[in-house]
């Protein structure tokens, strides 16, 4: 099957329509592709069936934009700029999802998802969606839980909440944010880069019940480095400088000097 036909079949299946119904103007912002989970589902499907990883696929607004981005064909008339912008520009954090308090440096992010929107798999280790967005440690933990889908959804929410804490984190890959468990059982987060990982100074709370999963992340800025204690000599020099400054101003203003009444 040609890539163009294959892509049309894949997208039609996700949207629940017939392939011939997909025109260039067909909107992709349906309920099945809403939010970050929908974007992840589309990206994983394209990677699985066409062996192409397109991070910007989930941001395309119409099928014509998606086809141009994935297959590298000339975009439909009127969408050339949109495709280029969606493909190259990092995602910007929506202002209403981020709370950044200055000058203390704290930030807060929250995310909620419907459990049914997260794909199920007979083998999560072989699922393109889960391998694309979760680390091996996360998959190993979630599949041992009573409800793996709810566990994956909770971690997805935690990752999204962290991405909303800093504007520069909005374009982080979901797999680069790893949610692990502390010894006491609570979740913790770290940013993975290559073979290393950097712990985040964040408090995370995850919960799920019935049809929903929710997570909140509160990030604290690293404390300022401690200021070395002032030595006695430095303190004495500052006092001398202060006394001189006061004496100069006293002479200028015709007032008694700093020590004029000490013997009274």
pLDDT band at 35 (very low <50, low <70, confident <90, very high): confident
Answer whether residue 225 shows pLDDT above 80: no
Percent of the chain with pLDDT over 70: 77
Closest by Cα among 146, 126, 122, 149 to 136: 126
Residues pairing with 242 in the sheet: none
Closest by Cα among 41, 166, 39 to 92: 166
The CATH class for the domain spanning 3-88 reads mainly alpha
pLDDT band at 134 (very low <50, low <70, confident <90, very high): very high
CA quadruple 48, 52, 57, 58: dihedral sign: positive
What average pLDDT does the chain have?
81
What's the CATH number for 95-219?
3.90.470.20
Structure tokens at 125: 């280790």
Residue 256 has a pLDDT of 64
- Hey, do 3-88 and 95-219 end up sharing a CATH topology, with the first three levels equal? no
pTM score over 0.75: no
β-bridge pairing 106-114 and 99-101? antiparallel
Summarised one tens digit per residue, pLDDT across range 153-182 is 999 999 999 999 988 888 899 999 999 998
Poorest-pLDDT segment among 114-123, 238-247, 249-258: 249-258
Q: Do residues 76 and 68 lie in contact, with contact meaning Cβ atoms separated by under 8 Å?
A: yes
Closest by Cα among 212, 210, 215, 188 to 201: 188
Phi-psi region of 49 (alpha: psi -120 to 50; beta: other; left: phi over 0): alpha
62 DSSP assignment: B
> What is the DSSP secondary-structure string of 172-221?
--GGGEEEEE-TTS-EEEEEEETTEEEE--EEEEEEEETTEEEEEEEE-P
pLDDT band at 85 (very low <50, low <70, confident <90, very high): very low
Residue 232 has a pLDDT of 60
Q: Do residues 158 and 174 lie in contact, with contact meaning Cβ atoms separated by under 8 Å?
A: no
pLDDT average, residue stretch 37-48? 90
36 DSSP assignment: H
Poorest-pLDDT segment among 33-37, 219-223, 237-241: 219-223
First to last CA, the chain: 105
pLDDT band at 7 (very low <50, low <70, confident <90, very high): very high
Q: What ranges do the domains of the chain cover?
A: 3-88, 95-219
Between 192 and 35, name the one with better pLDDT: 192
């Amino acid at each position: 099957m040609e890539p163009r036909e294959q892509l049309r079949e894949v997208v039609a299946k996700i949207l629940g329509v017939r392939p011939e119904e997909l025109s260039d103007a067909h909107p992709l912002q349906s309920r099945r592709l809403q939010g970050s989970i929908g974007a992840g589902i589309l990206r994983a499907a394209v990677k699985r069936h066409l062996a192409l990883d397109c991070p910007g696929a989930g941001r395309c607004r119409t099928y014509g934009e998606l086809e141009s981005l994935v297959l590298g064909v000339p975009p439909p008339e009127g969408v050339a700029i949109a495709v280029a912008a969606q493909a190259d520009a990092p995602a910007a954090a929506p202002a209403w999802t981020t709370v950044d308090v200055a000058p203390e440096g704290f930030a807060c992010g929250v995310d909620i998802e419907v459990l049914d929107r997260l794909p199920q798999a007979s083998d999560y280790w072989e699922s393109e969606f889960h391998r694309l967005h979760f680390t091996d440690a996360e998959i190993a933990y979630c599949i041992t839980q009573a409800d793996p889908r709810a566990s994956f959804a909770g971690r997805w929410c935690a990752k999204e909440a962290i991405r909303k804490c800093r504007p520069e984190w909005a374009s982080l890959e979901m797999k680069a944010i790893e949610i692990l468990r502390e010894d006491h059982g609570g979740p913790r987060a770290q940013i993975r880069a290559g073979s290393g990982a950097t712990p985040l100074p964040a408090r995370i709370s995850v919960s799920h019940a019935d049809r929903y999963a929710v997570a909140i992340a509160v990030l604290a800025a690293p404390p300022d480095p401690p200021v070395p204690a002032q030595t006695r000599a430095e303190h004495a020099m500052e006092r001398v400088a202060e006394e001189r400054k006061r004496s100069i101003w006293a002479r200028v203003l015709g007032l008694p000097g700093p020590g004029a009444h000490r013997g009274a």
